Amino acid sequence: MARVFSVSISNDSKTIVSGSDDNTIKVWNLETPDAEPLTLKGHGGTVFSVSISNDSKTIVSGSRDSTIKVWNLQTGEEIRTLRHDSEVFSVSISNDSKTIVSGSYDNTIKVWNLQTGEEIRTLSGHDSYVNSVSISNDSKTIVSGSDDSTIKVWNLQTGEEIRTLKGHDNVVRSVSISNDSKTIVSGSRDSTIKVWNIETPDAEPLTLKGHDNVVRSVSISNDGTIVSGSDDNTIKVWNIETPDAEPLTLKGHGGPVYSFTIANDSKTIVSGSDDNTIKVWNIETPDAELLTLKGHDSYVYSVSISNDSKTIVSGSDDNTIKVWNIETPDAEPLTLKGHGGTVFGVSISNDSKTIVSGSRDSTIKVWNIETPDAEPLTLKGHGGWVFSVSISNDSKTIVSGSADGTIKVWNLQTGELIDTLRGHDSWVYSVTIANDGTIVSGSSDYTIKVWNRETGEEIATLTGHDREVQSVSISNDSKTIVSGSADNTIKVWNLETPDAEPLTLRGHGSPVSSVSISNDSKTIVSGGGDNTIKVWNIDLDWLMERNCDWVRGYLQNPTVKKEDKGLCDGVGSF
C-alpha cells in the first residue's frame, strides 16, 4: 500500500477523495465505507492534492508529474489536463465551482477556468515553492503558503498581491481561510499553528503550540474550530476562544498525518497518513472504535454468527471454541474445550442451540450450547485435518471440508456419512451449505466451487483470490458468497453474475481464516491471524448494482442464454 497525501470530503459529507504516492486517486462512498473505492488513474507521479467541487460533480488533482487533472466524480472519467512547469503541491476549487487555483514547486500560483481549462493568470511573488493554496468562500481571495516561510493574500479577480504575512520561523506547509474570509490559519515546519486576522494584518498572530513536529495540514471549520495534523502522528482540535486550553488530540495513526479535511457538520474529520490509512473521526466521540473482540490466546481461525445476529462463535489455534454475546461484548465468553488440536472451523445452528466444530485432530464435534459441559458427539471419517464445517438450514445436515481434498456430507442427528464430493485440486479449507442446499467450498487451489447438494454436481468455479481460499460463507437467499483468503482480503461474490468482479474488503493484517455473513445479509464477521475479529457492514443492493453495471454488456452477448439476458434488468445505473 502507498502513503495518502491528501483527502477531501464533499459538501454532503457522503464522498471522500484521497490522493496517494501510488499515483492514483480513490473515491470512497461513506454510506458504504467497506466497499471497494473507485480508482482514478492517469497521473505519472504522486498525487499531492485533491479537491471536490461544491456541487460534488468534479474532482481536481495536483501531482508530482507537474499536471493538474480534472475528473468527473460520478464516472471517474478524466476531463482535461492542465500543466505547471514543475510539481503541483496544492489545488483548490472556488465555492462557485468556476475556478481552480494551484500552487507549485515552480514558485507560482496559477488561476484556471474550471469549465474550459483556460489559464486565466499566473501569480508570482513567492521566493520558493508554493506548498498550499486556499480560496475564500466568496471566491474573491486566494491565500498561499510557501517554503519562503511566508503567507500571501491575493485578489483572485485581478491577481494583485494584497499583503504578505510573516511570523513563522520555517516553511509554511498548509493554509486555510475561514468561511467569513476574516481569519487565516497556517501550519509550519516550526511545529506551530498561527491564526491571522485579515482585517488587522499587522497585528501579532495568535500562535498555537502543542505539536512536536512539522504541522502538515490545517483547516478551520464552519464554527471556527481549528484542526491540525502533524508529523508527530496526531491530529489536534483547537478552540480559538480558549487558545491556551489543551487541544483535543486524536491518536490512532501509525505515521505522520499528511492531510485531513473537516465535514460541513463540523463534527466529522477525515485524515490521511503515512501509515497508508484514511481515518474518519467524530469530534464528539473521538475515542470510539469499531467493535473488536479479544480473548483467544492465539489465531482466530473461524467465526460464525447466529441467525438473530446476537451470538458469535469462534474457533482458535488455542484448541478452544468461544461463544460471545454481541450485546455484551465485554463479558467473558463461554469456552468449549475438547479438541486435541487447532479448531479450524465452527458453525452454529439456526436455532442457536447447536455448534459444530472441525479440528486439526481430524474430527468433527457436535456441541449442545444449553449443556456445554456434556460430552460432544464426535464424527470420524476424514483422512486429514478438518478445516471447515457447516450446518444446513434445517439443522439435519453437516458439511465438512478437509486436508484430504474432499467434502463430506453427514447426518447431524446420527453422525452417518451420506456423501463425499471430489473436484478440488488441493486441500478444502472451507465449506458452507445454503438454505436451498447449495454447497460452497474454498480451497488451497485458490478457487471457490459451487455444488448441487442433491446430485453432487459442480455448478460453478469462482477465481480471483491470489492465494489459498481459507473460508467461505453464503447468504440466506443463496445469492451472495463471501470468501476469506491468505491474500489478507475478503471478497463478496454475486452468484447471479458469477463472472463479475467481486467486491474486495481489506483491513486484516494477516490471512483471513474465517468469514460469516449474517442472516439479514448486512453484516460480515471475519477472523484472522492478527488475533482479532472484525465486524463489517455491507450494502448488497449496491453490490448488485455494481456487478450489473459491469456485466450488462456481457449479458447481451449472443452466447448468453436467453433466460439470463434479463438478470440485470432494472438494476444499476442504466
Kindly state the cell numbers that stand for 21. Answer: 504516492
> Would you say how long the chain is, in residues?
574
Strand-pair partners of 473: 482
pLDDT at 358: 94
Kindly state the cell numbers that stand for 161. Answer: 498581491
pLDDT band (50, 70, 90) for residue 435: confident
* Cβ neighbours of residue 351 closer than 8 Å, sequence gap 6 or more: 307, 395
When mean pLDDT is compared across 180-194, 326-340, 423-437, 461-475, the lowest value belongs to 326-340
Using alpha carbons only, what angle is made at residue 304 by residues 313 and 387, rounded to the nearest 5 degrees?
A: 100
- Of 101 and 239, the structure prediction assigns the larger pLDDT to 101
Residue with cell 473488536: 292
pLDDT at 190: 92
- Of 263 and 192, the structure prediction assigns the larger pLDDT to 192
Contact of 19 with 6, CB cutoff 8 Å? yes
Contact of 357 with 314, CB cutoff 8 Å? no
The Cα 374–Cα 370 span in angstroms is 9
Question: DSSP labels for 388-405?
Answer: EEEE-TTS-EEEEEETTS
Contact of 514 with 527, CB cutoff 8 Å? yes
Which domains are present in the chain? Answer: 4-282 (2.130.10.10), 299-538 (2.130.10.10), 539-574 (no CATH)
Average pLDDT along the chain: 83
Question: What Cα–Cα distance (Å) separates residue 426 from each residue in 406, 429, 477, 482, 487?
Answer: 9, 9, 29, 20, 17
The pLDDT tens digits of the residues spanning 130-179 come to 999 999 989 999 999 999 999 999 999 999 999 999 999 999 999 999 88
Quick count: other Cβ atoms within 10 Å of Cβ 315? 33
Q: Is the pLDDT of residue 244 over 90?
A: no
Contact of 379 with 361, CB cutoff 8 Å? no
**310-315 contacts at long range (C-beta below 8 A, 24 or more positions apart):** 310/352, 311/348, 311/352, 312/525, 312/533, 313/346, 313/347, 313/348, 313/355, 314/346, 314/514, 314/527, 314/533, 315/342, 315/343, 315/344, 315/345, 315/346, 315/357, 315/514
Q: Is the pLDDT of residue 574 over 50?
A: no
pLDDT at 288: 43
- In our burial notation (b when 16+ CB lie closer than 10 A, e otherwise), range 31-67 reads ebebbbbbebebbeebbbbbbbbeeeebbbbbbbbbb
Q: Is the pLDDT of residue 289 over 70?
A: no
Going across the sheet that includes 447-451, the strands are: 428-433, 439-443, 447-451, 458-463
Handedness of CA 429, 364, 536, 235 (dihedral sign): negative
